[in-house]
Amino acid sequence: MKIAIVGAGAVGCWFGGWLAQTGQDVTFVARGDRLQWLQQHPVVMQDPEHTWEITVPVVADLAAVADADVVLWATKTLTAVELPELPSGAMFMTMQNSVEMPTLAQEKYGAHRVIPSVVRGFFTNSGLGQVTHDGGIQSLTSGSLHPDTDQVVADLAAGLAATPITPVVDPSILSDIWVKAMFVSTFGPLGAAVDQPLGVVRTQYRASLRNLMSEVELAARANQVDLAETVVSDVLDFADRQAASATSSLQRDIKEGKASELDAQVGGVLRMAKRGGVTLPAFQLLYDVLSAQ
């Protein structure tokens, strides 16, 4: 396959770097300082034990990768979503922490061209074209919404199997997207509101965290997403197993006064809840408080 990765941030560089390192045909689509940097420098990848470099071609426009088989949309959603025009025949993989993105992509391209996915792992930008992984979980779960995408899903999983990234093919991918949102879109924003890492959020503010997770479950079920009856407890158990010092990129961005994924993560849950005809008062309050910052 020919793979175009739109976005050369932490997730794009990590996944693109590994795929390129194992022989896949990868091209980054970037802009601004990242484009200029990667035109002259390799991607620098780092985990707790190693630092290495890999050179990956980079272009300024997706149209320059006209023969791409799949486009990995690895950008942070910091503003209103503007989905690109795809190369003819290309599939589109969503990689955002947004329950709304697969729906928006299906409305633009049709389910036969959309592959929702879930990225798991703590990846951090350590500079332009530089990404650090904490050495813990790193996986990509993807799945088909339509039989036309089955082969691309299988081929991507096969490519990732040659890397340390664990590929998972999940026929209930939309459920997994909501399960991840139940963790990421609750602990990060709540952590930002109280300015504390996960270890404090899951203990001192556990009741609030559980309440936010329950609202995510309500919104998911209102959109006919099938979840386990024990999903809130399961996600809380997952949170308890993560590093106490963990923070989300949204939380760090808010603390540093940067543009954040607040609207994509928290606003996205609220908009999907509205589509399902339910209201989420705790989520609305959290969104209002963080928006004011």
Predicted local distance difference test score (pLDDT) of residue 166: 97
Place of tokens 């979503």: 81
CA torsion sign, 9 to 179 to 158 to 92?
negative
pLDDT in tens, 5-18: 999 999 999 999 99
Has residue 153 got a pLDDT over 90?
yes
Helix (H) or strand (E) holding 184: helix 173-194
Mean pLDDT of the chain: 94
- Kindly state the percentage of the chain with pLDDT values over 70: 98
Over residues 193-205, mean pLDDT: 96
Helix axes 231-241, 206-222, angle to 10 degrees: 130
- How far is 21 from 30, CA to CA, in rounded Å? 19
Residue 235 tokens read as 């996600």
Rg (CA), the chain: 18
- How far is 16 from 181, CA to CA, in rounded Å? 23
The DSSP annotation for 209-230 comes to HHHHHHHHHHHHHHTT----TT
- From residue 151, alpha-carbon distances to 115, 119, 155 in Å are 11, 20, 6
Predicted local distance difference test score (pLDDT) of residue 62: 95
- Starting from the edge strand earliest in sequence, which strands make up the sheet with 43-46, in order? 51-54, 43-46, 130-133, 123-127
Q: Which of 51, 53, 49 has the alpha carbon at shortest distance from 136?
A: 49
Residues 6+ apart with CB under 8 A from 80: none
Over residues 75-102, mean pLDDT: 86
Helix, strand, coil percent values for the chain (each to nearest 5):
45, 20, 35
Q: Which of 116, 253, 117, 234 has the alpha carbon at shortest distance from 183?
A: 234
Predicted local distance difference test score (pLDDT) of residue 249: 85
Predicted local distance difference test score (pLDDT) of residue 79: 59
pLDDT in tens, 31-80: 999 999 999 999 999 999 999 999 999 999 999 999 999 999 998 765 56
Q: What's the predicted TM-score (pTM) here? A: 0.87
Phi, psi of 48 (to 5 degrees): -60, -20
Predicted local distance difference test score (pLDDT) of residue 234: 97
- How far is 157 from 100, CA to CA, in rounded Å? 24
Has residue 85 got a pLDDT over 70?
yes
Over residues 196-217, mean pLDDT: 97
pLDDT in tens, 18-30: 999 999 999 999 9
